[in-house]
Structure 1
């Protein structure tokens, strides 16, 4: 919706990128339903002037179209051209998934080359990815404006919408997975309403809120971090009001790994657009 409100022509890309997956991850079972995706795009309400919200879908029919030399999930076996954004890819998600952002930067560069957009829209839920893509565009002198769109959430529970939510049971989606966001929300309230800026206090609030919520034992917390929005470096003292911070984390429910984040005083997400 944000893209159709800010641009004349919208192209949506749909592609499950093998370069983002390690051999032990869920590439083969990752949710894929191109027909359902296209139907959902067609069902979007038209623009005010009657034109459709989405003008075209870029959906390569085969992996070979995007990786003409082929692609292995084993990085040492890969051949061809790959893109890395150093300095922003090894922390946070990069610890658990060390080759993930190499795959992201590579496929996004390919998509930009194929489509030649003037603007590109990415969801805040993958905030580290957003930072990396902005750096990629700046470093490679691409004439593209990167817009970060606020995270879309379940209206009842606050759970961030994600393809991997399909792995969760109904009870997990409704009752247990949203507990992490409840913890993040407690820190947002302390930051905005109480003026709390101390990193240790905000991080403790997240952990304590989660711990004191019924069902928290179902969450296997991987990390909770408070980081600078530009460098993604850990904030260990206090948040600077001029720059704000990103409060983010990852957890598992059973074998399903999920991520989420909230922004504390960060100016670059257009909340009202």
Structure 2
């Protein structure tokens, strides 16, 4: 079956009808959504495969959301590769792609959005004010429009995943949220649509991010973890660190020395003109 492409609400509703979604149980088909901003890579493919395990049909949204970008960020140059993205979706058995324009997604006099609350002001939210508000706003709109049973997000954007789970819990949304593991290249670098911005020299320097995380993960206490990871980053002068934090995966509050259980070691840094993020989960 060819991928059905929908660009607005009417086309999306027609696509759902064509796929038998929204019928009467038990005949109603299940649907999993993979929200993306396009420029799809193997990490996105892994999320589509995970989605196919959870539902009869998979929908992928392709939308570069302006609300997630600050005034000095890379919205205008964010890679847009729609034709190639459609080929990826077809190869992965995706049933439907929702690819609205900004004008179709947001009213010109839009006023109401989602607040990420206190959790949206720490870690990534502290360096990108309003970013997590914008992310949650578009995710809620996608949930309301596509109406999936399941939504799949990558663990690479760990705070985003945590915030979506919190929104679903706080707002009683009838959607199951699934996290997919980070996909890495052979040298350990996490796949990202922004990796294509890196020059060969920058890419070599950017490997310090994953090396720092792996060095930290090999330690036993929060202090040792932070010290080992910081030492790796300090040895690479081409990497300008925004943050390196060890946080609670549910709240993104910094963990204390007596913390037990899971923690997330997360890093954000600029290499050249490109900002990259990465994280690993550690059990203490």
TM-score by structure 1 length? Answer: 0.83
Q: Distance in 2 between matches of 1:262 and 1:104?
A: 22
Q: Partner of 1:193 in structure 2?
A: none
1:219 aligns with 2:239: yes
Q: Partner of 1:184 in structure 2?
A: 213
Deviations 1:207-231 (A, max 9, x none): 123335xxx1111111100011111
Q: Partner of 1:55 in structure 2?
A: 95
1:257 aligns with 2:275: yes
Which runs of structure 2 are paired with 1:1-273 in the superposition (5 Å)? 1-44=49-92, 53-60=93-100, 62-69=101-108, 79-154=110-185, 156-173=186-203, 175-190=204-219, 196=220, 198-212=221-235, 216-241=236-261, 244-265=262-283
Give the root-mean-square deviation of aligned CA atoms: 1.4
* Contact persistence 2:240–2:269 (CA under 8 A): yes
Deviation at 1:185, TM superposition (A): 0.5
Q: Distance in 1 between matches of 2:164 and 2:244?
A: 22
Q: Distance in 2 between matches of 1:253 and 1:209?
A: 15
Q: Distance in 2 between matches of 1:181 and 1:105?
A: 27
Q: Distance in 1 between matches of 2:54 and 2:216?
A: 32
More strand by share: 2
* Contact persistence 1:200–1:236 (CA under 8 A): no
Q: Distance in 1 between matches of 2:117 and 2:233?
A: 33
* Contact persistence 2:150–2:177 (CA under 8 A): yes
Deviation at 1:262, TM superposition (A): 0.3
Deviations 1:192-221 (A, max 9, x none): xxxx1x211110010123335xxx111111
Deviation at 1:171, TM superposition (A): 3.6
Q: Distance in 1 between matches of 2:119 and 2:147?
A: 24
Pairs aligned (count): 236
Q: Partner of 1:271 in structure 2?
A: none
- Name structure 2 gaps, 5 residues minimum: 1-48
- Name structure 1 gaps, 5 residues minimum: 45-52, 71-78, 191-195, 267-273
Deviations 1:117-166 (A, max 9, x none): 11000001110000110011111111001001001111x22111111111
TM-score by structure 2 length? Answer: 0.80
